[in-house]
Structure 1
Amino acid sequence: MSQAILRQILDYSSRSNPYPLYEELRRTPVSQFVDGPYVVSTYHEIQSLLHDPRISSEAQNTVTTAGDPLAQSEEEEEQATLPPSILRTDPPEHDRLRRRINRSFGPPHAPRLVHDMAADLENIIRELIDGIEDPSNFDLVERVAYPFPVTVICRLLGVPREDEARFHVWADTLTGSLDPDPEVDAEARHKVLQDARMQLGMYMAGLIEQRRKNPGEGMLSELASGHGPDGSLTTMELLSASVLLLIAGHETTVNLITNGMLTLLRNPELLRRLREDPSFAAPVVEELLRFEPPVHILPHRATLADVEVGGVVIPKGSSLWLLLASGNRDPQRFKDPERFDPDRADAQHLGFGSGVHSCFGAPIARLETQIALRELVRRLENPRLLEDPPPYRQSAVLRGPRHLPLACDGIRP
């Protein structure tokens, strides 16, 4: 039974609403694909594994098997990125890299970095909304949700504004590898990805060298020229961190903004409340991370020892998937989990993961989404869905609408 459910979850026909399948799967907290990975679907078990040192993210430990249905997507991801990212390392190397990156990204060494970006983020989103040419029929993804995070990441890194357009092109190509079009020839797609990798790598290496010689504003400059107790990052480590921000930071935020607007339009009373009370954006986004998270599946983990989960012994060397979105709707953890409730008192979701690999970009993603949703509901007059459910991306891992066709009566100033 669980085999059929697992296959259905990955099937594109289930993309618009996989939650009933998650509910069925949670009856057996641990399932397994034939000759493939073990899949964990309940909140407490997922949370425990995210903090378990016997679970590895190291690339060399997470070898895919013949029965792993995401083996091809992993190959695409590896081809589309530069050096292995911090996501694919274990402590102590992971801890060293994370401490060094966090010195430039947030508290305690850069406590106001994200806070001080708020005004710039508001200007970016307002310009994007101003650019909507036909309010009676437009795609929120293409017009707002997709270009917004790339621009923000460029500003965060300190990419010269005249080069931001080039970053948009590279982001389109690299992030597209995470959600490949099955109708595009795989060999041609690989060549485009390789070209984009090379161009981005050459550009970033040159920019890093410039920042080492002539430090300026932005996170990249501080990482390139700064020093700390963990030493400096190498050029390759800097490239890896930059690409991680570009790809992971972009895709998750696009999904979060798009899922957020879709959910608000399905709950018009909450949309009106947000329009009347902009501070409501913070709890809306927090509940959104539980109810419609941008990342549904955390694949390609491995067990370094036998691990007992929910009465099942997962053998050493096994591949492991964690169904974060299923855990977020586990009734053993959340009361009335199928209801979108921003007033929920206890929203300790798995939307940004947990443990040592929790998303270090979470503060900026939260702020981007709060500002985007706040401005959209304030400025779009009588917004409404033109298609529900909208067309979704192919990926079951990074789940979100590929397009979100909307209409409104006009754009408020």
Structure 2
Amino acid sequence: MTTTARLSPTDLFAQVMRYENRPDPYPYYALMRERPVVRMDNGTWLVSGYHEIAQLLHDPRISADRLNPQAPKPPQRSLLVQDPPRHDRLRRLVTQEFVPRITGMRDHIAELVDQLLDAHTSSGPGQLDVVADLAYPLPVTVICELLGVPREDEPVFGSLSRRLTLALDPVDSPTEEQIRDAQQARDQLLEYLEALIQRRRAEPGDDLLSALMSSGDDEGPMGPVDLRVTLVLLLIAGHETTVNLIANGTLALLRDPGVLARLRTDPDLATPLVEEVLRYDPPVQMSGRSALADIDIAGTTIPKGSRIRIMLAAGNRDHRRFPDPDRFVPDRRDNTHLGFGGGIHYCVGATLARAEAQLALTALARRLEAPRLVADPPPYRENATLRGPEHLPVAFDRLTNG
């Protein structure tokens, strides 16, 4: 770890963003929390304390537009970065169709998990990449089925999704190449989705896309622009974050054989265990907001118009909120973490992500005999915001039948 003698807030944030610190940014988060609300040299405010983050996430004076909350909102923006009342309507239209479809899906998800692991069933020693072989294809398959996207089209948006999520990292001065690549990826994905929308318009099905096109409220159904950007959000958020949740959970289990053994004999442990993964090593490490007014917090004032970087992963390990916060406690009580954000922008897919992670981790514990990490730490993705292993090779003595 780089010497930390009086690192400035700007330097601390720079260390979090450095790729070599991707396996363990938490020592820098701990230093951030010594000043839970502080201004960086570029004018952005870092908020790293649990209570301060929770306060801001529920404050109506905070805008989800992390760049310029005073400017008119262009229509090509998802509900993730929209404010009320537009956000509320889009979220309501998505929720009324999305939530009923994921109710009762646990058995099907469990079958998909076993099918993916069955491809590696072995009576002797073997190896699998938990990311490529399970954590990635599982949520992709589920979201494709929900939306009515042909499974064979996954490569079309898989690589585009990765390119778009790189743009989520907080870079003050992205290069022209980065800007161009993100825009190209977005345009290509929107072009693909437009073709899919036209097919569904001609032949509606019982999928989520068809429902979003036909259902609505007093203002009618979702407009064509809102429909496209909502699909982009669901496709990306529907699998990118869950990939990290499953991979980070596997990593925590394999680093703690005692917890792994408990999960093998007590599958009910999966429910609190996944909540602890969301606290201890969350798939989304940070988020952005802007101030719509002067906000007094933690003895300072964040001025109106300021950009705010909300350090969710730092808040999740705040000792003022969680006893022994740097220890993985699978049955931790009173675990109201920030892993899915909070307030009006609380993750709309949280229930689905929880189910996928619980079932995937339980199956790994049940079916892998003597699993161990091939590399620790594993190679990580470039992305600091959506942080997780790029690959997670795991060796085992035997992979039993489902």
Structure 1 CA distance for aligned equivalents of residues 276 and 66 of structure 2: 32
Residue 334 of structure 1: SS of its match in structure 2? coil
Write the letter of the residue equivalent to 2:366: R
Does residue 385 of the first structure (1) align with residue 373 of the second (2)?
Answer: yes
Structure 2 CA distance for aligned equivalents of residues 34 and 193 of structure 1: 26
Is contact 2:164-2:186 (8 Å) kept? Answer: no
Is contact 1:257-1:373 (8 Å) kept? Answer: yes
Structure 1 CA distance for aligned equivalents of residues 22 and 186 of structure 2: 29
Structure 2 CA distance for aligned equivalents of residues 60 and 179 of structure 1: 17
Structure 2 CA distance for aligned equivalents of residues 360 and 347 of structure 1: 19
Q: Who is 2:152 aligned against?
A: 165
For residues 361-392 of structure 1, the C-alpha deviation after alignment (integer angstroms, 9 at most, x for no partner) is 10111111111111111111211001111111
Pick one of 342, 345, 356 that aligns with 2:344: 356
Q: Who is 1:104 aligned against?
A: 97
CA 1:19–1:197: 2 relative to 1, 3 Å: closer
Write the letter of the residue equivalent to 1:148: L
Is contact 2:66-2:307 (8 Å) kept? Answer: no
For residues 2-43 of structure 1, the C-alpha deviation after alignment (integer angstroms, 9 at most, x for no partner) is 333222112122211111111111111112221231000000
Pick one of 295, 307, 311 that aligns with 1:307: 295
CA 1:199–1:5: 2 relative to 1, 3 Å: closer
The CA RMSD over aligned residues, in Å, is 2.5
Structure 1 CA distance for aligned equivalents of residues 180 and 137 of structure 2: 24
Write the letter of the residue equivalent to 2:37: V
Q: Who is 2:84 aligned against?
A: 91
Alignment of 1:121-270 (within 5 A): 121-132=109-120, 136-159=126-149, 163-179=150-166, 196-270=185-259
Q: Who is 1:115 aligned against?
A: 103
CA 1:28–1:94: 2 relative to 1, 3 Å: same
For residues 150-195 of structure 1, the C-alpha deviation after alignment (integer angstroms, 9 at most, x for no partner) is 1111011122xxx2122233122222342389xxxx7777776656
Q: Who is 1:17 aligned against?
A: 24
For residues 378-413 of structure 1, the C-alpha deviation after alignment (integer angstroms, 9 at most, x for no partner) is 111211001111111122211111111210112100
Write the letter of the residue equivalent to 1:57: A
Write the letter of the residue equivalent to 2:239: H
Alignment of 1:371-382 (within 5 A): 371-382=359-370
* Aligned structure 1 segments of 4 or more residues deviating by more than 4 angstroms: 186-196
**Mean CA deviation greater in 353-362 or 209-218:** 209-218
Stretches of structure 2 that go unaligned for 5 or more consecutive residues are 1-5, 170-174
Structure 1 CA distance for aligned equivalents of residues 341 and 230 of structure 2: 18
Residue 263 of structure 1: SS of its match in structure 2? helix
CA 1:193–1:306: 2 relative to 1, 3 Å: closer
Structure 2 CA distance for aligned equivalents of residues 188 and 139 of structure 1: 31
CA 1:103–1:350: 2 relative to 1, 3 Å: same
Structure 2 CA distance for aligned equivalents of residues 397 and 36 of structure 1: 20
- TM norm structure 2: 0.89
Is contact 1:211-1:225 (8 Å) kept? Answer: no
Instruction: Please report how far the alpha carbon of residue 236 of structure 1 lies from its aligned counterpart in structure 2 after TM superposition.
Output: 1.6
Residue 354 of structure 2: SS of its match in structure 1? helix
Write the letter of the residue equivalent to 1:234: G
Write the letter of the residue equivalent to 1:312: T
Structure 2 CA distance for aligned equivalents of residues 365 and 117 of structure 1: 12
Does residue 368 of the first structure (1) align with residue 368 of the second (2)?
Answer: no
Q: Who is 1:66 aligned against?
A: none
Instruction: Please report how far the alpha carbon of residue 356 of structure 1 lies from its aligned counterpart in structure 2 after TM superposition.
Output: 0.6
Residue 217 of structure 2: SS of its match in structure 1? coil
Residue 61 of structure 1: SS of its match in structure 2? coil
Instruction: Please report how far the alpha carbon of residue 228 of structure 1 lies from its aligned counterpart in structure 2 after TM superposition.
Output: 2.8
Q: Who is 2:172 aligned against?
A: none
Residue 302 of structure 1: SS of its match in structure 2? strand
Q: Who is 2:64 aligned against?
A: 57
Is contact 1:96-1:230 (8 Å) kept? Answer: no
Structure 2 CA distance for aligned equivalents of residues 147 and 168 of structure 1: 11
Is contact 2:164-2:185 (8 Å) kept? Answer: no
Structure 1 CA distance for aligned equivalents of residues 320 and 66 of structure 2: 33
Write the letter of the residue equivalent to 1:61: N
Is contact 1:171-1:246 (8 Å) kept? Answer: no
Instruction: Please report how far the alpha carbon of residue 351 of structure 1 lies from its aligned counterpart in structure 2 after TM superposition.
Output: 0.2
| Amino-acid identity (%) | 48
Structure 1 CA distance for aligned equivalents of residues 312 and 81 of structure 2: 18
Q: Who is 1:394 aligned against?
A: 382
Residue 116 of structure 1: SS of its match in structure 2? coil
- TM norm structure 1: 0.87
